[in-house]
């Protein structure tokens, strides 16, 4: 209980004051300073790597252009005060120009990206935004800050090793309405007893998905070094209404038994859904591949792209968030074998259509490579003939 109280900003009751000499009256409100946890949360939402430009311009320009530049510099120096109401009514082109200036000065933050994504919903300024924090922030504080009930943006959440209040917070993930991808990485030294996710966790999540509309947008689940997840837990996947794919890597799953269990709930094991689309050379040469990079590439290529290959309709922008007290280690993040990763997908008509589309994409990509090879060989042969002809004419 004391932990939660220490994270709040305490407000003392307002006091009215009156100065008899001047006749002025005012209210005084005393706020306690931010604690460590509230500061960490503020950094998570608002910290940038850049510095705003100086208000004074070194340019000799005068007139309207100079006034506009000064206004922009003033705005960049006070981005903390920028809220949705400040930008309502601002033309889209102007809002995008402001965002471009923010990016140019490396002042973009998660809060600002969310803000401009909502304001410029017809033409979002950036299709993805990545936020990585090593602060030990409870999910109970993070979830309300990254949710979007209007689906202005989607969220992909990666949890590395242990996180604060995981026992209490993990069930709350089911309430995250815009969560499209959940990626959980444990430690290589963990065990079934210390695993962040277990069969019980999947069972609880499945019940919330069925009875409380939990995980309404979750399509992809990635679990690595979660030894508490076994083939029994995979039987709960059918409860997630929108889930299309679950990837297990170095978990406690017995493959032979798992295939029978998932078949009974309308799922199956495959490699094509993940490998062929995420990284075409992973299947041949997995040694040394960065696991998080492979997953991120897969997410950005399947979510932050047109919703259908035959249309130009785009999914909402994607917020990629990584939480954890430390960076993924070499032992947990580097792939050593193709057998480290198992991919489980629904065995239904929709999945079959997706698989056929991906097979066509792979075939087209392979055809393009072969055609490029033939073209190179034709050019090489033409050069060889030209050289022979030149030598014969000498």
Q: What is the DSSP letter of 15?
A: E
Is residue 219 in a domain?
yes
Q: Compare 123 and 129 and report the one with higher pLDDT.
A: 129
Number of domains within the chain? 3
Is residue 392 in a domain?
no
User: How large is the average pLDDT for residues 112-135?
Assistant: 91
- Are 212 and 143 members of one domain? yes
Digit-coded pLDDT (tens) for 145-162? 999 999 999 999 999 987
Identify which of 80, 83, 96, 243 has the alpha carbon closest to the alpha carbon of residue 174: 243
User: How large is the average pLDDT for residues 352-369?
Assistant: 73
The residue out of 126, 160, 179 marking a domain boundary is 126
Which band of pLDDT confidence, cut at 50, 70 and 90, is reported for residue 280? very low
- Are 214 and 226 members of one domain? yes
What is the per-residue burial (b if ≥16 Cβ within 10 Å, else e) of 7-41? beeeeeeeeeeeeeeeeeeeeeeeeeeebebeebb
- Are 339 and 201 members of one domain? yes
Distances (CA, A) of 11 to 6, 31, 41, 80, 96: 13, 5, 19, 21, 37
- Per DSSP (E only), the strands in 203-244 are 220-224
CA angle at residue 123 from 122 to 128, to 5 degrees? 120
pLDDT computed for residue 30 by the predictor: 55
Is residue 390 in a domain?
no
pLDDT computed for residue 371 by the predictor: 84
The residue out of 126, 149, 175 marking a domain boundary is 126
Digit-coded pLDDT (tens) for 245-277? 999 999 999 999 999 999 999 999 986 656 444
Matching residue, tokens 């005084």: 28
pLDDT computed for residue 61 by the predictor: 54
Identify which of 145, 98, 153, 91 has the alpha carbon closest to the alpha carbon of residue 124: 153
DSSP codes joined into one string, 300-346: HHHTSSBSSTT--PBPPPEEEEEE-SSPPPHHHHB---GGGEEEEEE
Digit-coded pLDDT (tens) for 7-30? 344 445 556 766 666 566 666 655
User: How large is the average pLDDT for residues 182-188?
Assistant: 92
Coil, helix or strand for 123?
A: coil
For the chain, what percent of residues have pLDDT higher than 70? Answer: 79
Digit-coded pLDDT (tens) for 53-85? 876 655 555 545 567 778 888 889 999 989 999
User: How large is the average pLDDT for residues 298-327?
Assistant: 74
pLDDT computed for residue 29 by the predictor: 58
Is residue 113 in a domain?
yes
Coil, helix or strand for 190?
A: coil
Is residue 284 in a domain?
yes
pLDDT computed for residue 143 by the predictor: 94
pLDDT computed for residue 362 by the predictor: 64
- Are 18 and 145 members of one domain? no
- Are 6 and 71 members of one domain? yes
- Are 134 and 175 members of one domain? yes
Backbone phi, psi, residue 6, to 5°: -70, -15
- Are 343 and 240 members of one domain? yes
Is residue 231 in a domain?
yes
- Are 203 and 163 members of one domain? yes
- Are 80 and 110 members of one domain? yes
In angstroms, rounded to a whole number, what is the distance separating the alpha carbons of residues 146 and 134?
16
The residue out of 98, 126, 154 marking a domain boundary is 126
The full length of the chain comes to: 394
CA angle at residue 36 from 33 to 40, to 5 degrees? 110
Question: Positive or negative, the Cα torsion across 181, 185, 191, 195?
Answer: negative
pLDDT computed for residue 67 by the predictor: 74
- Are 60 and 118 members of one domain? yes
pLDDT computed for residue 251 by the predictor: 96
Backbone phi, psi, residue 148, to 5°: -145, 100
Coil, helix or strand for 17?
A: strand
In angstroms, rounded to a whole number, what is the distance separating the alpha carbons of residues 223 and 383?
53
Is residue 394 in a domain?
no
Mean pLDDT score of the chain: 82
Is residue 262 in a domain?
yes
Identify which of 199, 116, 115, 110 has the alpha carbon closest to the alpha carbon of residue 157: 110
Q: Compare 276 and 95 and report the one with higher pLDDT.
A: 95
pLDDT computed for residue 281 by the predictor: 44
Specify the pTM: 0.78
Q: Compare 226 and 164 and report the one with higher pLDDT.
A: 226
Q: What domain range is 370 assigned to?
A: 351-382
pLDDT computed for residue 91 by the predictor: 87
Q: Compare 227 and 54 and report the one with higher pLDDT.
A: 227
- Are 196 and 73 members of one domain? no
- Are 120 and 146 members of one domain? no
pLDDT computed for residue 6 by the predictor: 39
């Amino acid at each position: 209980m004391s932990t939660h109280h220490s994270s709040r900003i305490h407000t003392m009751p307002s006091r009215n004051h009156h100065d008899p000499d001047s006749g002025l009256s005012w209210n005084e409100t005393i706020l306690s300073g931010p604690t460590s946890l509230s500061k960490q949360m503020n950094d998570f939402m608002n910290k940038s790597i850049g510095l705003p430009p100086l208000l004074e311009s070194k340019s000799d320009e005068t007139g309207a252009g100079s006034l506009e530049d000064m206004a922009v510099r003033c705005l960049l120096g006070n981005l903390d005060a920028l809220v949705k109401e400040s930008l309502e009514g601002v033309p889209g082109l102007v809002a995008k120009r402001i965002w471009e200036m923010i990016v140019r000065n490396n002042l973009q933050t998660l809060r600002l990206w969310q803000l401009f994504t909502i304001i410029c919903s017809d033409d979002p300024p950036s299709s993805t935004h990545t936020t990585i924090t090593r602060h030990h922030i409870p999910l109970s504080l993070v979830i309300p800050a990254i949710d979007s009930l209007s689906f202005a943006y989607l969220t992909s959440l990666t949890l590395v090793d242990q996180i604060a209040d995981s026992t209490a917070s993990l069930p709350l993930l089911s309430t995250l309405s815009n969560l499209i991808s959940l990626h959980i990485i444990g430690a290589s030294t963990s065990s079934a007893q210390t695993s962040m996710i277990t069969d019980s966790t999947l069972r609880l999540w499945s019940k919330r998905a069925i009875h409380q509309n939990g995980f309404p947008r979750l399509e992809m689940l990635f679990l690595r070094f979660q030894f508490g997840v076994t083939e029994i837990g995979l039987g709960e996947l059918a409860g997630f209404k929108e889930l299309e794919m679950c990837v297990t890597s170095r978990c406690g799953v017995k493959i032979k038994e798992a295939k029978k269990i998932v078949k009974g709930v309308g799922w199956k094991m495959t490699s094509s859904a993940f490998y062929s689309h995420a990284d075409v050379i992973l299947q041949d040469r997995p040694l040394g591949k960065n696991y998080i990079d492979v997953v991120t590439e897969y997410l950005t290529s399947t979510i932050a792209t047109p919703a259908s290959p035959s249309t130009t309709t785009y999914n909402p922008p994607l917020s990629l968030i990584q939480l954890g007290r430390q960076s993924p280690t070499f032992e947990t993040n580097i792939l050593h074998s193709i057998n480290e990763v198992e991919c489980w997908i629904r065995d239904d008509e929709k999945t079959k259509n997706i698989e056929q589309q991906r097979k066509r994409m792979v075939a087209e990509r392979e055809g393009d490579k072969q055609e490029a090879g033939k073209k190179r060989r034709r050019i090489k042969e033409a050069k060889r003939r030209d050289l022979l002809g030149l030598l014969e004419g000498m």
